Amino acid sequence: MPVGQQDSGVSSGVKFVTSTIGNTVGGVTNTLGGVVGALGRGVGETLEGATGSAGRPVARGLADATTSIEEGANKIAGGVKRAGEGR
C-alpha cells in the first residue's frame, strides 16, 4: 500500500467483517445453487428414465431451469465475495 493510504484500525476491522460476511454469504449461495442444480438434473434424469421419450421435454426443461438457477447463484456468490473484498 502506498505511503499515507494505510487503513486505520476501524477501517481495517470493518473490511475484515465485510470480507468475512461476504465470503460466508457467497459460499452459502454457491452451495445452495449447486444443490438446486444437482437436484434438478437428478430429478430430470429420473423422470426421463421413468417415462422415456414422452417425459423427455419436461425432464430436460427441469434440468435446464435448475442449471440456470445454479449458474445465476454462482454469479451472485462471486459478486458478493468481491463486494466483501472491496472490489
Q: pLDDT band for 20, please (50, 70, 90 cuts).
A: confident
**Exposed (0-12), middle (13-18) or buried (19+): which is 67, by Cβ within 10 Å?**
middle
pLDDT digits (tens, 9 = 90+) for 25-69: 889 999 999 999 999 999 999 999 999 999 999 999 999 999 999
> Letter for the amino acid at 32?
L
pTM: 0.74
The answer to whether 37 and 66 have CB atoms below 8 angstroms apart is yes
What was the pLDDT predicted at 59?
95
Q: Are the C-beta atoms of 26 and 78 separated by less than 8 Å? A: yes
Question: What is the amino acid identity at position 71?
Answer: E
